[in-house]
Amino acid sequence: MRKGSTIVPAVLTDDPKALEAMVRQAESFTDYVQFDIMDGRFVPSHSVTCGQLAAVPKKLKWEAHLMTVRPEEHFDCLREAGARRVVFHFEAAPSPEAVIARARAAGLGVGLAINPETPVPAFLPLAGTVDSVLFLTVHPGFYGAKFLPEVLDKVTQLRAAMPDTEIGVDGGIKEGNVAQMARLGVNTICVGSAVFLQPDPAASFRRLTRLAQEAAPK
């Protein structure tokens, strides 16, 4: 488990030109990002495809957050495109165990994303079989969605049950609440609009990083 809290910029767009611009921006201030891939079925929105993502040259290390049905169908493309990890939704897979096994067989790291309504006991038996658990602190699919503070109770529950699990949060994180995430011992804080929709994304990323580092348990 990584120590402290790391800000991970989350790249979400349906425009290949905007994607390339966001990648170039991110390369100026970080070495790791999360790309969001949405199919218009698991969530209402669409994003760029894996093929469009693969077409953009990247110096970054990266993972993919799959807000899709049948996430395993994307794994080969994502591996070939250079993904380090795939994060799929527990709620999207009839057999999450089979999806985890498919990711491992493809040589990918694997994380489990959890929608706000899903209780911890529903996925707890799987938490020890993945590299990370990512709690959605919004209803997924859009930049700027409303933050749902009640999800933080689940962070506390999971940390108590599995102290060494890598825990992430994703959605609605801003300068006003990022310290709260860090104080809870969240390891990975995925941030989209509070970085990329700001006048100076690099400066926003640095402020968020400083706030998280100052608040993280010593």
> What is the residue-wise DSSP string for the chain?
---S-EEEEEE--S-HHHHHHHHHHHHTT-SEEEEEEEBSSSSS-B---HHHHHTS---SEEEEEEESSSGGGGHHHHHHHT-SEEEEEGGG-S-HHHHHHHHHHTT-EEEEEE-TT--HHHHHHHHTTSSEEEEESS-SSSTTPPP-GGGHHHHHHHHHH-TT--EEEESS--TTTHHHHHHTT-SEEEESHHHHTSS-HHHHHHHHHHHHHHHS--
Q: Choose the catalytic residue: 14, 31, 36, 131.
A: 36
Catalytic, out of 39, 76, 131, 170: 170
To the query of whether residue 131 is one of the catalytic residues in this protein, the response is no
15 is catalytic: no
Active site residues: 36, 170
